[in-house]
Structure 1
Amino acid sequence: MSPRRNTRPSLTKSSPDTPHSSRDTSLDTILGNPTRGADTDQASGSPTGRQLDATESQHPTVQVSEITSATAIRDGSLSVSLDNYSLSPELVPLLSEPDATSGIRTFKTRTYVELEEGGTVLLGRDSEQNYRARAGTELVASGPRLEQVEGSLLWRRIAHLDVTQHADSNLPPTRAFRKNWGVDPRFTLSELLTIDNVHYKVVTRTDARESPITYIQSPAHPIYDFDLLEATLRHVPDEQPRGAIQVPPDNHWEIDARLPFEKPLTAYVRDFFPEVTTVTLENIARKQFELSNDSPFADAAGLTALRQIYSSWQNATLSPHPQWSDPLLMLPILPTSSASRGAARSIALPHPSSTGTLNRLDFDPLRFQRQWLLYLTSYSPVEFKRFMAALLTRNGYTVIEPNSFNSFPALVFRRTGHDYVFFMSLHRTRIPKISLPMYMNPKTADLRLETQVGGVAAKAVNDAHSANKIIWLKGGTEIRPGVADTIFIIRDDNARL
């Protein structure tokens, strides 16, 4: 494994009104407004009284400069007092109990640690993923470096941080793995990996698949399912498993100290599907975890597959696992009921708030409220197509330009990362099903595909159909009493061709 390129972002200095060394008052603010949540989908108030999630987050501007090989790096935060980061003592009882391994305490999505010298501070990471004290106003922690006291749940300031490199070295120092995760093989039945005479528990299960990367894990953690891994990444990310590989020529084992996952699994999904509902968000992440691992429980091959999927999303490249990289490919095919006396064929819609199972995608109108309110004033099929095309585009799909044909609205679209093509007929419903009377079937009306969606889209559908790469979908709006308005997509087997 080659060491990472060492770059240190130079953060814009804060103004005197918002110094980095300010006491964390975020807990005071949260407690002063108990109706506001702080979960994965941070929301803001909407005029309708529902929570309106922000679609974009603001990132600080950074300048990246190279560090020359002979430079000595000294942490300027050594002169800053930790007292400036202390949490008010009266708020400490509101934190969770310390984690049995790391000592980290949580409140909502924030993490805190108790100091050896006394006091409790907000914990964060700097641009190089080092632990530091963090002010409540910061996105990137800039306070004093912190470390856990060995054999204790308490933390302390790192006393000396000079890193001097030899002038003839062109590589930065690599981060060493310093977790005390060794176990006594006499007292564990788990599969172990031995590195430098230290025995580590590995991420595995009885039917685990082969993988070029092995993952060691905290001995305090049981086998990982989605909920455990998601909670670990959210609250104690430094306790997540670490990769280990064999390095030639002697095939000795080395541990990669870098974090395999930079954020919770749901946060990766939110980055690339920004307008799905919170229920859909978790359903996608859970389904993706279970498909990648071929089980509700993780193995090394599954964790590596998830990392590959997220990398393909971030780099807009073909995914080695396309069937797990797009939630539309993960949807089950819903059955269509047969026509009966006095009733047309129909597809029953699963409830939009069903958790734990990905059987439909839902998009929250409060995330695109202006477009939604404008759509509600129009009944034109052409405007319906434009509204749905814009929604798909904002969530990462490439839609072939819809034509101006005013009947049987449908869209044809793709997504970077795989070569499947989607054909989606559009519907508006006020009941929990999609009715499919014969007069609404374009094939019954003898309507040519080119007329319905245009020549370019029709060719894409025909080519994909010939290659067995076409996916048939139905989507649209569901507006009914007692259920939040939603834009849905389901998968069916009613082929247009």
Structure 2
Amino acid sequence: MAKPPKQIPAAHSSPPRPATETARVSGDDIHILRPGLHSQAGDLPFAGPSSQRPPETEGGTRQPAVEVSEMLTRHQPGESSTAPDALNLSARPTTPTFLPAHLAIRLTPATDSPEGIRYDGRDRIYVDMREGTAMVSKNPDGHYQLTSANELVPSGYRVERIRETHLWQKLQPGATRRPAADEADSVAGPSKRARVEDDQSAQAETLSGVLDLSSRQWRNWGQSTRPTSGQSVEIDGLHYPIVSQIVRSNTPVVCIKHPHFNPERFDAFEQMLVDEPALQPRWATRSADNRWAVADTRLPFERSLTRSVAESFEYLSGQSSRAVAKTLFYQSRGAEVINGEGLQVLGQTLRHWENRAIPAPRRSLADPLMLLPIQPTLNDGTFGGKIELPSASAANLQRIDFDSAKFPDQWREYSATPRNANLQKLFKSVLEKSGYTVSPPNHSLLENALVFYRPGLSVLFAMKLPTISAAFIRRYTKPGSELNNSAALMQLDDAGRQRLSALLAQDNVIYLVGGIDPLNSQTPSLFVLREG
């Protein structure tokens, strides 16, 4: 009996999928927005065709989540709707063929694969680029190459993964492929200098690529029909969902959002800015003739919120930078869930902190010290009571820490002679490096207080530096007593006393307590908290 002919796999067959990858999911199985983050019960993260259950066969096996017919070339507005010739293998696409959002969402998540590879129901492979999600195939030399469902041999340009992300980009002509961050380093010697230089080059290239908005990838977020739920605006004949906000006839700015991401809570928003910043919303502005247009000359947020805070206030500890960023995110809206107006306030505040060239959107957001909550004074039966020292790792902002490792010379000088006068000198140096103007230390001020302000902000900060010996701070004087005692007032001229009286009357004085954290001797830090 003759043996049946051996079947030869198609030229564009996908590589075998790792056994550790998760099973394919369809639109109604998707519940993971980001790694470790889930949508709230009862809330559908996405609406539209992707939420419909694919048909099942008589045997009960579900059909592939995405069919071949759905993967044909997506026609842009204004293009011919004539189907491409499936047998024409000579055509060489000059741009990727991006999936519509409602189809891309049915693919396996990019986070299921270390390289960001995604699969459809027939095990064809796709990658996420800044412009959208495109089909690729691996060619004989090991590179991934753009392809489409209507060709047997890939004819698009080659692509490579952007280091340390799940995004891919076009491989430049003549460029050699660098090993990814999770691949073995077989070139650099023991010093790893070659790898370090390569990492720096790759990071610079990655940042440059992320900020390149010339491709206007947001255009792939639009739909030909108005969404059945949520708010949207129309731009050039397409409807774009927006981040929730109150939209009136004279509303000048809204935020269009990526169909795969709803930026409501801090953790998801921050992780998105780190991993896939192309998913962030874009500002859309209304013109005088009531037309909407996207401001795509730059990304609204060019780095994570924590990194933005850290670059504006370089001496802050990493924990404080994140706590300040998280609090700013919440206070921009006044709630844990942000909206379109809140994102605008958030962006303007970060730009104000960066260079002070534009005003703060609200006075309460003009400075990180103004975000501190007032710590309660506990009555323990002693005169004045005490304030418990909040933990430096508290989930919410309770105190601001300056990392001594970032100013080693000043810290070394203080540590050699840890006296009150030297503590004043240390705080004065750190505050001035952080952009504040500090008055010369005055021995007449109670509890070694320092008085300082930020130029352009009509707020006076008065910070006492009491002796701290345990996880609480004894309060021997009331807030404001350092400014109202007769010895301090006698050193002011008439104009100075009038300015101080005006600040006090307008409640423009913020009372602080500072010191060295006695509970963290391994990594010493200067803390600042607010008293009432």
The bucket for the TM-score relative to the shorter chain is 0.5 to 0.7
Report whether the alignment pairs 1:182 with 2:222.
yes
Q: In the TM superposition, what is the alpha-carbon distance from 1:454 to its structure 2 partner?
A: 10
Q: Distance in 1 between matches of 2:394 and 2:493?
A: 36
Report whether the alignment pairs 1:192 with 2:256.
no
Report whether the alignment pairs 1:338 with 2:363.
no
Q: Closer, same or farther in 2 for the Cα pair 1:350/1:209, shift >3 Å? A: farther
Question: Are 1:175 and 1:257, in contact at CA under 8 Å, matched by a contact in 2?
Answer: no
Q: Closer, same or farther in 2 for the Cα pair 1:141/1:453, shift >3 Å? A: farther
Q: In the TM superposition, what is the alpha-carbon distance from 1:433 to its structure 2 partner?
A: 0.9
Q: Closer, same or farther in 2 for the Cα pair 1:199/1:143, shift >3 Å? A: closer
Q: Distance in 2 between matches of 1:147 and 1:441?
A: 48
- Picking from 133, 141, 150, the partner of 2:205 is 141
Q: Closer, same or farther in 2 for the Cα pair 1:330/1:438, shift >3 Å? A: closer
Q: Distance in 1 between matches of 2:265 and 2:459?
A: 30
Specify the alignment match of 1:269 in structure 2.
309
Question: Are 2:452 and 2:461, in contact at CA under 8 Å, matched by a contact in 1?
Answer: yes
Q: Distance in 1 between matches of 2:233 and 2:328?
A: 27
Specify the alignment match of 1:213 in structure 2.
253
Q: In the TM superposition, what is the alpha-carbon distance from 1:392 to its structure 2 partner?
A: 1.0
Task: Map 1:72-83 to 2 at 5 A.
Answer: none
- Picking from 346, 353, 363, the partner of 1:322 is 363
Report whether the alignment pairs 1:278 with 2:318.
yes
Specify the alignment match of 1:378 in structure 2.
417
The letter of the residue matching 1:383 is N
The letter of the residue matching 1:235 is D
Q: In the TM superposition, what is the alpha-carbon distance from 1:405 to its structure 2 partner?
A: 5.6
Q: In the TM superposition, what is the alpha-carbon distance from 1:222 to its structure 2 partner?
A: 2.5
Tell me, what secondary structure is at the counterpart of 2:447?
A: coil
The letter of the residue matching 1:300 is G
Q: Distance in 2 between matches of 1:144 and 1:490?
A: 39
Q: In the TM superposition, what is the alpha-carbon distance from 1:279 to its structure 2 partner?
A: 1.4
Report whether the alignment pairs 1:310 with 2:374.
no
Tell me, what secondary structure is at the counterpart of 2:205?
A: coil
Structure 2, unpaired ranges of 5+: 1-111, 121-125, 131-142, 147-156, 173-177, 179-197
Specify the alignment match of 1:419 in structure 2.
458
Q: In the TM superposition, what is the alpha-carbon distance from 1:261 to its structure 2 partner?
A: 1.5
Q: In the TM superposition, what is the alpha-carbon distance from 1:196 to its structure 2 partner?
A: 2.0
Report whether the alignment pairs 1:352 with 2:392.
yes
Specify the alignment match of 1:471 in structure 2.
510
Structure 1, unpaired ranges of 5+: 1-91, 106-112, 125-129, 149-172
Tell me, what secondary structure is at the counterpart of 1:137?
A: helix
Tell me, what secondary structure is at the counterpart of 2:377?
A: coil
Give the TM-score taking structure 2 as reference length: 0.59
Question: Are 2:226 and 2:232, in contact at CA under 8 Å, matched by a contact in 1?
Answer: no
Question: Are 1:244 and 1:255, in contact at CA under 8 Å, matched by a contact in 2?
Answer: yes
The letter of the residue matching 1:221 is F
Report whether the alignment pairs 1:103 with 2:128.
yes
Specify the alignment match of 1:63 in structure 2.
none
Q: Distance in 2 between matches of 1:214 and 1:395?
A: 33
Question: Are 1:475 and 1:490, in contact at CA under 8 Å, matched by a contact in 2?
Answer: yes
Q: In the TM superposition, what is the alpha-carbon distance from 1:303 to its structure 2 partner?
A: 1.3
Q: Distance in 2 between matches of 1:328 and 1:263?
A: 22
Tell me, what secondary structure is at the counterpart of 2:474?
A: strand
Specify the alignment match of 2:448 in structure 1.
409
Tell me, what secondary structure is at the counterpart of 1:323?
A: helix
Q: In the TM superposition, what is the alpha-carbon distance from 1:368 to its structure 2 partner?
A: 1.6
Question: Are 1:272 and 1:313, in contact at CA under 8 Å, matched by a contact in 2?
Answer: yes
Specify the alignment match of 2:432 in structure 1.
393
Ranked by relative contact order (alpha carbons within 8 Å, sequence separation 6 or more), the top structure is 1
Specify the alignment match of 1:21 in structure 2.
none
Percentage identity across paired residues of the two chains = 25
- Picking from 412, 422, 429, the partner of 2:468 is 429
Q: Distance in 2 between matches of 1:281 and 1:455?
A: 40
Larger strand percent? 1
Question: Are 1:363 and 1:488, in contact at CA under 8 Å, matched by a contact in 2?
Answer: yes
Q: Distance in 2 between matches of 1:354 and 1:336?
A: 18
Q: Distance in 2 between matches of 1:415 and 1:176?
A: 39
Tell me, what secondary structure is at the counterpart of 1:180?
A: helix
Q: Distance in 1 between matches of 2:301 and 2:221?
A: 19
Q: Closer, same or farther in 2 for the Cα pair 1:209/1:229, shift >3 Å? A: farther
Q: Distance in 2 between matches of 1:435 and 1:443?
A: 16
Superposed CA RMSD: 4.3
The count of residues paired between Structure 1 and Structure 2 equals 364
Q: Distance in 1 between matches of 2:405 and 2:171?
A: 36
Q: Distance in 1 between matches of 2:162 and 2:232?
A: 35
Question: Are 2:158 and 2:171, in contact at CA under 8 Å, matched by a contact in 1?
Answer: no
Report whether the alignment pairs 1:298 with 2:338.
yes
Question: Are 1:385 and 1:402, in contact at CA under 8 Å, matched by a contact in 2?
Answer: yes
